[in-house]
Amino acid sequence: MKLFDNKIIIVTGAAGGMGKAIVQELLNEDATVIALDLSTKNLEDIQHERLLTYETNVLAEENIQKIVSEVYENYGKIDGLVNALGIAQAATPVEEVTLEEWDRLLNVNVKSLFITSRAVVPFMKQQKKGSIITIASISAVRPRPGLQTYIASKGAAESFTRGLAIELAEHGIRVNTIHPGPADTTMLGKFTSNGGDIEQTKEEIFRKSVPLGRLIVPQDIANAVSFLLSDKAEIITGSTLNVDGGRGL
């Protein structure tokens, strides 16, 4: 039997660099995956009877409630939620960051977690079981200049996750955070300051910052998600797993 045989798992940001690897890993382990993203085009090459895709903004609260309710009605349970969506901030001095940019980052990177978690928790409480994972960032504890707003959002993401972990433990629901280090997805280039060289930033700033000597790849994150979601991690909640090649040291 595979790790997620007969498990129903919702993934946000599912068409992103990490999201897609997570979707593929969960499908390989026999899960049914409900994949949410603004655009699901990047998932079109995965043709699988256990993959359901929804194109939606995760901030569209009513839509998320509706999708989650439909999933529960159709399958009678929701085993897992993986919050893998997110947006980056181009490195910017704090005095140049607009209120709109602050709100946009906090809304997407934090409010989305509230919306998805609030939608699944009532069903997980009925089951007395569930696992929620949020992809935050090692930058929350090992910051870099110019990324203050993104870093604030990821700190909030980790704190929210820990808050949920203590609140939901008595209901058998586990809630954990993963802090990726710099990862080789399209997002990484978006941290480059305006006008900066993306490839040079990736190599000079990011790769060289990883003690183990290479960028994190999406499969590294998918492996960690798979472990934390599964019953192999049944006594782990409120934890933060750094998948960062030692960047947090």
Segment (H or E) for 241: strand 240-243
Q: Are strands 51-55 and 130-135 parallel, antiparallel or unpaired?
A: unpaired
Q: At what angle do helices 148-168 and 112-127 cross, to 10 degrees?
A: 10
- Contact pick of 27, 58, 78, 140 for ligand NAD (by CB under 6 A): 58
141 binds ligand NAD (CB under 6 A): no
Contact between 221 and 53 under an 8 Å Cβ cutoff? The reply is no
**Cβ-closest position to ligand NAD:** 16
- Please tell me which residue in 54, 72, 75, 150 is annotated as part of the active site: 150
Of residues 76 and 211, the one with the C-beta less far from ligand NAD = 211
Question: Measured between alpha carbons, how far is 241 from 227 in angstroms, rounded to an integer?
Answer: 11
86-125 residues near ligand NAD, rule: CB under 6 A? 86-87, 108, 112
Of residues 137 and 237, the one with the C-beta less far from ligand NAD = 137
User: Residue 173 corresponds to which tokens in the numbers above?
Assistant: 């629901």
Contact between 155 and 110 under an 8 Å Cβ cutoff? The reply is no
Give the binding-site size for ligand NAD (rule: CB under 6 A): 28
Contact between 12 and 84 under an 8 Å Cβ cutoff? The reply is yes
245 binds ligand NAD (CB under 6 A): no
**Interaction site with ligand NAD (CB under 6 A):** 12-13, 15-19, 37-39, 57-59, 84-87, 108, 112, 135, 137, 180, 182-183, 185-188
As annotated, the active-site residues are 150
